[in-house]
Structure 1
Amino acid sequence: MGFAEEHHQWLEYHKKRRTGERLDRLERGHRHGEQMFVERVWWPIFGHMDNLHPEYEVSDWRGRPYFVDLVWKPGQVKFAIEIKGYGPHVQNTDRTRYRQEINRETYLQIAGYRVVAVPYDDLESMPELTISLFKSLLTPCLLKSTDEEGRQYTRLEREILRLASCWNGFLRPVDLVNELGVNPRTVKKYMNSLCEKGKFRPVMAQGSTRVCRYEYIHSFMDNELW
């Protein structure tokens, strides 16, 4: 499944769980800059949008609702991601709005969020820089969860993940049988387990319910598992 389809399903998932102003803000707020960040930075790093929330509502220091462009909440960690365009942030044409924005970011830090500002221009001209910075920023927060995750995989599951990272992202059951020297039932058992753990998606043969291959859901932390 490619980015466009995943992005559409992700937005629909969040829209179905919102009403009123929260829904309206999602439809109005998740625009070009936010979509470009998800496509050019988040997707290349993770290959999915799990735990990523668009136009996430929080309360500011006055108790008023405020919508963060994107919030990532994998467990206890909370990141508030704001896409910054060149405009009031630099020119200060609306000084009251500018002060409120600075105070909101400070309050988000008090509330336990790590606030990350992403320049819109970098998303257009050099997204690879933002990718590099995000990897460096997120890796320390993910190491602990990756260690815990690694204990959840058997030796054979780790070997399957290693093969998936080396190949083109798709695995056929017959290829795993030949490569690993195990029987088809074993392959089916372990692939079902990895699908339940969110590492693969089964792909059905056209016009059939038979699984013809598995799509690998990549994470940049997967190389820590072996």
Structure 2
Amino acid sequence: MTFEEEYEKFIQHHGSTRKGESLRRLLDGHGYGEKLLLKKVWWPAFKNFDFLYPEYAVTDMRYGTYYLDYAFIPDPELLQLDLEADGFGPHVQQMDRRQFTDQLNRQNFLVAMDWKILRFSIDEIKENPTRCIQYLQLLLGKYYGVNQPSNMITLQEREVLRLCLKLGKPITIKDVAYHLKLHRNSAQSLLRKLAEKQWILPLKRDAIRVRAYKANESKINQLLV
């Protein structure tokens, strides 16, 4: 899939889940700069849009709703990242004192709510996308030690990996359901996702059915140290 194809699917998917002001912001407020950020920075680095949400609404109970260009949320308990593409246009050059204060309050609120923020000028995205990618990977590397969002795991998935190492044997759906107090279907889904990311390796009963999973120990040890 090309960037244009994946981007169109990405926007259509999120549009189908929105309504009201959230949908209007996506259709009318999501423009050249926001698309350029994905095309020049995010896509070359990761080749997917996993855990990424365009025009993401964050509510300040006292002062209203803020819309982020993109929110990257692989796990809300571990990392919430606000990605912004800022143009040096008339609305910036002619900003009054109240608007300037609102901009600072918005950023302060996000930081106080444990958000990380990366803001790139559209000029920098166009002229020096490599530097933007480096900042992005530098931040994500602090949390995951990897560059690909597809490798990132949730806290629940991380607990499954710890269980794999603790048991010291191939792990089954029953093991995960019992230890994490999950329904069988939820446990099965967790194991499949981890296998897709190659954190665990399937052991097949026959050509189709998987009887258990074994830890990909070299990869897990790098994550859990």
TM-score range, shorter chain: 0.5 to 0.7
Residue in 2 that maps onto 1:103: 105
Give ranges in structure 2 of 5+ residues lacking alignment.
147-151, 163-191, 199-218
3-state DSSP class of the match of 1:103?
helix
Residue type of the alignment partner of 2:27: E
Cα RMSD, aligned residues only: 3.1
Give ranges in structure 1 of 5+ residues lacking alignment.
153-192, 200-220
Residue in 2 that maps onto 1:143: 145
3-state DSSP class of the match of 2:119?
strand
3-state DSSP class of the match of 1:53?
strand
User: How many residue pairs were aligned?
Assistant: 163
Residue in 2 that maps onto 1:17: 17
Give the Å deviation of 1:97.
1.2
3-state DSSP class of the match of 2:125?
helix
1:60-209 matches, cutoff 5 A: 60=60, 62-75=62-75, 76=77, 77-87=79-89, 91=93, 93-143=95-145, 145=152, 148=158, 197=196
Distance in 2 (alpha carbons) for counterparts of 1:29 and 1:100: 18
1:32 paired to 2:41: no
Q: Assess, with a 3 A threshold, how the Cα gap between structure 1 residues 67 and 196 changes in structure 2: closer, same or farther.
A: same
Identity %: 31
Give the Å deviation of 1:29.
1.5
Distance in 1 (alpha carbons) for counterparts of 2:98 and 2:72: 28
> TM-score w.r.t. structure 2 length?
0.63
Do the aligned residues in 2 keep the contact of 1:61 with 1:104 (CA within 8 Å)?
no
Residue in 1 that maps onto 2:214: none
Distance in 2 (alpha carbons) for counterparts of 1:198 and 1:15: 27
Give the Å deviation of 1:93.
3.1
Residue type of the alignment partner of 1:22: S
Give the Å deviation of 1:194.
8.4
Distance in 1 (alpha carbons) for counterparts of 2:193 and 2:19: 35
**Deviation string, structure 1 residues 78-131 (Cα, Å, up to 9, x no partner):** 001121111468645322111101101000111121121111111111111101
Do the aligned residues in 2 keep the contact of 1:92 with 1:98 (CA within 8 Å)?
no
> TM-score w.r.t. structure 1 length?
0.63
Q: Assess, with a 3 A threshold, how the Cα gap between structure 1 residues 107 and 90 changes in structure 2: closer, same or farther.
A: same
Distance in 2 (alpha carbons) for counterparts of 1:101 and 1:57: 15
Do the aligned residues in 2 keep the contact of 1:61 with 1:107 (CA within 8 Å)?
no
Q: Assess, with a 3 A threshold, how the Cα gap between structure 1 residues 117 and 61 changes in structure 2: closer, same or farther.
A: farther
Residue type of the alignment partner of 2:46: F
Distance in 1 (alpha carbons) for counterparts of 2:197 and 2:3: 17
Give the Å deviation of 1:62.
2.2
Distance in 2 (alpha carbons) for counterparts of 1:79 and 1:13: 21
